[in-house]
Structure 1
Amino acid sequence: MEKDRTRDAAQTQLPRWDGPLTHPFYSKVLKRCLDFALAVVFLLPCLAVMLPIAIAVKCTSEGPVFYRALRGGYHNRPFSILKFRTMVVGADQYASTTALDDPRVTRVGRVLRRSKLDELPQLFNILKGEMSFIGPRPELLRYTMRYTPQEQCILWVRPGISDPSSIRLINLDELVGHDDPEGCYETKILAEKNRMRVAYARSQSFGLDAKVFWETLLCVLKKNLNREPSVRRKMPARQGGNR
């Protein structure tokens, strides 16, 4: 019931943007067809990877296999983004931004987050038409409801698994640190992230999407090859939410 009220409130408060798109046919028609076709092609091989991941998540920590959370979606419609659960049960009682060496992240979760395999279930979001492979990363409703008129165009294209801000901020947990990750994200990261989302939304094209797709793969590969060991820290004080 509470989730329904939040969804309804977001639907009525999120502003609409009626500005022009650089490539409207690609953005509204062709891209959706490509997303659906690629999701169908990738689904079978990805299921072979997702099954052992699901078993590992279930066997190594208590709680559900998947994590669902409301995000601001296409045409202002909130939707439930789907991920493999990478945190302990009850992590929602703490900060919504994941800190550096966050103790809420499970052992399996650290591997999944570093490799971005926790995002694989979003194939189902793509099949449902809620997301694209490439598009502005969907944000928490409390942030999308505060978008400025210039930022409203972010909501006029489908959110995606990756975008230019995902590449630029791939080490987000390191950028926000561990002292006040939520405050750091809101004061130092969010505005720049939205600027990159706006730039992408206004210039979305097949060429740009292909570029972001390959850069994402290279960036994830580089991050895993250059991995350094981390030290787990104490559980932070309660602040609410879970990113």
Structure 2
Amino acid sequence: MHIVGPDGKPFPYGKIHRSLVADFNDGALPSWLEVATKLAADASEVVGSGASFSAFPAVPSLTVTSPRTTNSYADLRTKLKFNPLNYTAIKFTLEGLRFAGNTWQQVSIGIKNPESTAGITLLQTNTSGASALIKTYRSSGNGGNVDKPVKMSIHTIGLAGDEGQNSKNLSVLLLTGKQYPLAQQRQFVLLMNDDQVGAYEEITGLLTPGDYICSARLTTLGLPAEQSERFIRVSKLKVDLWSN
């Protein structure tokens, strides 16, 4: 959601723009990014496991593979944290995002705290489905989580298993409204593919402050033996931060 000026150029979300970019050209993670896997819901998380890289002359990319067991996961996330009270907008972008198929898995791409008690995420179970939802995390004392279905799918419909066709440049954008006086502040979540807005929802009054990370997680759901391991693959990862 941009306000466009007379010259046709969009006004920025804030006066100051910072950008963190991981392009994986050197086959390594930058210091502000980490991966982790977990074998099952009651197991301990293993930070640094599950990652593999491709390098030139191929297209550089990072792949994080989830264990096969039910409720295991692969997580790609920032180590740096961002308090939304200090920023007018936070944008999390995964370029060349791919998966190994689009069933037997749940995907969440979010700007939230590590405990998933504050912030927002794009969530889709069995990513071959027709739509996903925006989940706003809140404590039970504040009414609990709020789910808002959106008509945007992480995967292209009708291409089950064809992860090459399902490559996307996917962004989740959180607009905090902090550039405006308190009485005029409104919060929105935008879902974007190649900078084209696919869905947006207003979450004014629902956003819980906290120290947020950007996280992309794939959870394995009852994967049959004949199915290949599930993974997240990205060619570039970006975090954009606007402030005043």
| TM-score above 0.5, yes or no | no
TM-score (norm 1): 0.31
Q: Which has the higher strand share?
A: 2
